[in-house]
Amino acid sequence: MIDYILTEKSAHLSDLRNNLKKITGKGEAVAILSRNKPVFYAVPLEVFENMLEQIDDMQLGKVIKKRRRQPSVKVSIDDL
C-alpha cells in the first residue's frame, strides 16, 4: 500500500520526542512518521485556525446555496 505524505517536511516520531521545537519551529506543517509511514501531521496554530475558518466558510456556502433555491420573501424596511 502506498502512503502519501502531504507536506514538504517530515520527521520521525522519535525525532519529535527529542527536539520538538527544532522540527516545528519554522511554522510549517510536518508529517510525523513511524516505521516510515505517516501517523499524524503537526500543524502550527495559525495554519490550523485558517483551516477551520475555511471549513466553516465552505459549510456556510452550502447553506447559502440551499437557501437560494427557496422562494424569497419580500419585506418592507419599515416592517423590520
- pLDDT digits 0-9 by tens, 24-38: 777 889 999 999 999
Half-sphere CA count of 8, side-chain side, radius 13 A = 3
Residue 41: closest CA among 33, 52, 30: 30
Instruction: Tell me the domain boundaries of the chain.
Output: 9-69
Q: Are 43 and 26 in contact (CB under 8 A)?
A: no
3-class secondary structure, 70? coil
Please give the pLDDT value at position 15: 87
pTM for the structure as a whole = 0.66
16 within 8 A of 34, measured Cβ to Cβ: no
Is 16:23 a contact under the CB 8 Å cutoff? yes
pLDDT in tens, 34-65: 999 999 999 988 889 999 999 999 999 999 99
> What would be the CATH architecture of the domain defined by 9-69?
3-Layer(aba) Sandwich (3.40)
Grid cell digits, residue 28: 510549517
